[in-house]
Amino acid sequence: MTESPSAAHPETPTQDGNDPRCVPHKLTHPLPIGDECQYPNYSDEEQEVWKTLHARMETLLPGRAADEFITGLRALDLERDRIPALSDVSRKLRQATGWQICRTPGLLDAHDFFGYLARRVFPSTDYIRARSELDYTPAPDCFHDIFGHTPMIVHPRFADFYQKLGQAALNCKDAATEEGLTRIYWFTVEFGLITNPGGLRIYGNGIISSSGETQHCLTDKVTKLPYTPERLAAQAYDIWHFQNPVFVIESFDQLENEFVRWARERSLL
């Protein structure tokens, strides 16, 4: 989510659907992975946008982001003044949890996206939003993907859970279960909260990559409910407003164990 409560989540297509970044790509050939990802020729202005976004979120994260997210961010040691190279981040992820990064030209077709997750490969964009879109971008960019998503993939249990989400999605045969799985993805990977020893914290990237949602979601205006996959799968979400309710896990062990139980009961794993 973004600064404006009426704005959409970065991965959500615009309401008029005209932005080419919002059209999912159906792949006809494999994407470059790891060291195959070339570093783009970014302009100074693009590097400045990264710098601005990074600095702004860094001040917001203490006391709000999950300990596990902060640990992942430190382990990746992402550059502050320069857009990180996908190949470098991929190498660090591989060392940590055996995940790699592939470079995607934009939103991927769901089957292609989950197929990569199932193989422990995270599709990341390498382009960055314009300065006019600091607070709102209709599609994922590399700040959303790299800064927001990759730190959690450093955590071994989250990394396993994320792979299993991909595997379960590939095995999904009916629309109702698929919808449930989409909601589980939404309320965990994108909008999940966790109870840390210091209190309630954010691990969902849809929140962490948005300064507005990061400041809003821990307030009393948002209802927090305990995580069970059944409850998430039954909860519709509104892509155009700040999330309410959100769901709280006790630990990443609980996140994965409960998800595996839910998926096995539906023969998805």
How far apart are the two ends of the chain, measured CA to CA in Å?
31
Q: Is 213 among the residues known to form the active site?
A: no
Q: Which two tokens stand for residue 101?
A: 């990064």
For residue 241, give the 3-state DSSP assignment: coil
Q: Is 149 among the residues known to form the active site?
A: yes
Residue of 158, 27, 133, 154 lying closest to 90 (CA atoms): 154
Residue number with CB closer to Fe ion (163 or 205): 205
Catalytic residue among 144, 213, 256, 258: 144
Cβ at position 160, least distance to Fe ion in Å:
18
Cβ at position 119, least distance to Fe ion in Å:
18
Residue number with CB closer to Fe ion (83 or 189): 189
- Report the side by side order of strands in the sheet with 199-202: 199-202, 193-196, 246-249, 224-226
Are residues 86 and 80 in contact, defined by beta-carbon separation less than 8 angstroms? no
Q: Is 209 among the residues known to form the active site?
A: yes
Catalytic residue among 11, 46, 90, 149: 149
Q: Is 190 among the residues known to form the active site?
A: yes
Residue number with CB closer to Fe ion (216 or 250): 216
Cβ at position 10, least distance to Fe ion in Å:
7
Cβ at position 267, least distance to Fe ion in Å:
27
| Residues at the contact surface with Fe ion, assessed by CB under 5 A | 11, 205
Residue positions counted in the chain = 269
Measure the CA–CA gap between 65 and 205, rounded to whole angstroms. 10
Question: Which residues are the active-site residues?
Answer: 144, 149, 190, 209
